[in-house]
Structure 1
Amino acid sequence: MKIGLALDDRRKEKRVALRPEELGELLKKNQLYVERGAGLGVGITDAEYRQAGAHVVSKAHAYACPLVVKLREPNETELKMMRPGSTLFSMLHLNNRLNLARLLQRYRINSIAMEKIKDPLGERIIEDLHEVGYWGMMKGLELWGRNPSKATVKIMGCGRIAFGAIQAASRKQTRVILLNKREINEMYKHLPGTDILVDGLTWPAELRGKIYLVTRRMLRLMRPGAALIGLVSNPAGKYPIETMRPTTLSDISYKMNGVIHAACWGWSGLDPVNVTRRYSIQIAPVLSDIVKSAPDHLPEYIKQAMLEAKP
């Protein structure tokens, strides 16, 4: 099969879905067409892809392949380059991106969502949750701008993202308080004395935009120059913090009512080389399973992540 590896060319986005090191098995029976410059952001040259057996081609050529791999979702211009009936393998989060879902249907593009590829225990196979928490916390301390050992950090959530944040804070000798389920519903009690509040919650869809754990009025309870850090991706912009909205690597923070806000869509992009390595190791074997099966005979764990375009 012909596979296109597309460049992630958002401003300050340097990661790429596949490195040359992981291509050996894939290239035994398939051809990989890498968009020119796809790996330059993490120090991988076009020559290195060629040495691994891939072809380096134009953007249009890469997107014309029957299967296109891209870490972050393509924009509409890029989707238009894909052929009807082809398949996109990418981080999609379609439940929060209804417009993207509509575009995929409009251009008759099948999709496989990387974030929905799961093991038999229901755990994500392609993920960087710990790195998201770690680098979000590191950036939060930087944005706060003072001695980290003097900060009081409070964290909502207790999953892998929150653990990454805890690890980052502990390395900076920061005082960390983990808030439990009862405490997060009484945030007015816990905002006073807080320098950095970290949101590591996966907020249920039915509560988004309806229930806020931290309201606009509560910001006045926080210390001057305090920071709110949102770690869980939510492109729809519906957080448990009323004043939070999505930010990007190129425009990572804003200030409201004297409080710094940052909810970056792609925190792990702050460590592009190591995160590219992690993703490539995770993606390559899944991609091999995709290409060695007919579309109607895909392994079940891939089928559950696939959305077929209507004819």
Structure 2
Amino acid sequence: MKKLGFPRMHKEKNEKRAFLPEFFGGLANLGVEIHLEKGYGSKMGFVEDDYTKENANIKFVSKEDAFNQDIVVVLRSPDFDEFELMKKGSILLSMLHYPTRAKRVKILKEKGIKAVSLDSIRDDLMQRIVFNAKGTSENGMELAFKELEKVRDDFYSKNRGPIEVSIMGMGLVGLNAARAAGRYACKELNDKMIEVGTKGVLVHMLPRNITGDRQEMSRILEKTDIFVDASSRDNPYDYIVDNKLLGRLKKDAIIVDLTADPYIVDEEGMQVKAIEGIPTGTLDKYVIYKEDKEYYDIPEEVDKENRRTVISCDAWPGVKPKECMELYGIQMLPIITKLFEKDVDDMGIESPYYFERAIYRATIEYFENHEKKK
């Protein structure tokens, strides 16, 4: 009988997320023993009884015991030292981001951990199954408009032109960002704008044939009030917008970093952000001003001369933890149920079962044999 482990996430002080008690109620019919790390859910206001009332098979254990189970489920990837706590042959279900985490992939393979990356679980149309695109986009855009409100004296003026938002990336995150921008990203601002009668928001969606045109990008950035990165890149070692080009952006413009790619040095060089010279925020600090220390933490070889206020977070859905975990619970319940029923090694792309095909697409084997070769 497989046992499930749910460690807590300790990455930042403001990382509050944990699966909700009702999610574990959905696992009760499996009869599986579930080990939650002590304090699980406490940052969201839950106590142990909230969980055990939903599922009598729950035990509260040490961090080491939570990791030492057959299937370990934790939303954000464990640190490298936490991989040491896992058993060889155990399954790790987490956001592992294979394409930009070569060292992580290497260690998982060396440790014999059967990885299933939540961000790579895809249906037969290659759409993500575990995904909070709306939460990512709306959280970032709401903060951006509120920051713009602070610096623009004419924000509520009837005489100003439309606020111009330029978005790199036309996937779900980018499209949701555009929808959010169209209503000033939150009801509070939208209602006030309607009451005052100001002009609205003009959204520019920038496909690759525009982002690759330096002259056209320069013209667009000069008029942009909110510049959004929701891009997906084939090559994480190249910038889409270098720092010199970024200098064309309006001085009081706000940059919204929804992708939140990190700077990472690996065997092939340095992986960079789509926009050169901007920092990556966290749940502890997601509004970064021009002179904040996060700018000075950027690697020295990166040009950061041209700076703007940046809205960035490496865990955007975590800004609103309860809403986030309600959605992830719904999306992940059938995934965990399937992993309990059948070992990931016995799944494949030719399986007649929908979730088995989806889970297999999230394995390192599939990534190295299919995705990495693209």
SS in 2 for 1:221: coil
Find the partner of 2:234 among 196, 204, 207: 204
CA deviations over 1:197-234 (Å, ceiling 9, x no partner): 011111222xx333x44221223322223222121242
Find the partner of 2:35 among 12, 33, 36: 33
- Counterpart position of 1:21: 22
Q: In structure 1, how many angstroms separate the alpha carbons of the residues matched to 2:8 and 2:36? A: 8
| Superposition pairs of residues 1-311 of structure 1, within 5 angstroms | 1-11=2-12, 12-16=14-18, 18-28=19-29, 29-53=31-55, 54-144=58-148, 145-146=150-151, 151-172=163-184, 173=190, 175-181=201-207, 182-184=209-211, 185=213, 186-205=216-235, 208-210=236-238, 212-235=239-262, 236=264, 237-252=271-286, 253-255=288-290, 257-298=306-347, 299-307=356-364
State the aligned residue count: 304
AA matched with 2:144: G
AA matched with 1:171: R
C-alpha change, 1:295 and 1:157, in structure 2 (3 Å) is closer
The 8 Å contact of residues 227 and 259 in structure 1, kept in 2 or not, is answered as yes
CA deviations over 1:255-281 (Å, ceiling 9, x no partner): 253412343211111111100110011
TM-score norm. by structure 1 comes to: 0.89
C-alpha change, 1:152 and 1:300, in structure 2 (3 Å) is closer
Q: In structure 2, how many angstroms separate the alpha carbons of the residues matched to 1:275 and 1:160? A: 16
The 8 Å contact of residues 49 and 56 in structure 1, kept in 2 or not, is answered as no
TM-score norm. by structure 2 comes to: 0.75
SS in 1 for 2:247: helix
Q: Tell me, which stretches of 5 or more residues in structure 2 are unaligned?
A: 185-189, 191-199, 265-270, 291-303, 348-355, 366-374
C-alpha change, 1:199 and 1:284, in structure 2 (3 Å) is same
Identity %: 28
Q: In structure 1, how many angstroms separate the alpha carbons of the residues matched to 2:171 and 2:9? A: 28
CA-based RMSD of the aligned residues comes to 2.1
SS in 1 for 2:144: helix
AA matched with 1:217: K
The 8 Å contact of residues 238 and 245 in structure 1, kept in 2 or not, is answered as no
C-alpha change, 1:220 and 1:117, in structure 2 (3 Å) is closer
Q: In structure 2, how many angstroms separate the alpha carbons of the residues matched to 1:219 and 1:245? A: 14
Q: In structure 2, how many angstroms separate the alpha carbons of the residues matched to 1:268 and 1:204? A: 24
Q: In structure 1, how many angstroms separate the alpha carbons of the residues matched to 2:344 and 2:229? A: 39
CA deviations over 1:73-132 (Å, ceiling 9, x no partner): 001222111112211110100210112112212322221111111122221110011211
C-alpha change, 1:176 and 1:159, in structure 2 (3 Å) is farther
AA matched with 1:249: L
Report which stretch shifted further, 145-154 or 221-230: 145-154
The 8 Å contact of residues 49 and 55 in structure 1, kept in 2 or not, is answered as no
C-alpha change, 1:300 and 1:6, in structure 2 (3 Å) is same
SS in 2 for 1:8: coil
Q: Tell me, which stretches of 5 or more residues in structure 1 are unaligned?
A: none
C-alpha change, 1:204 and 1:2, in structure 2 (3 Å) is same
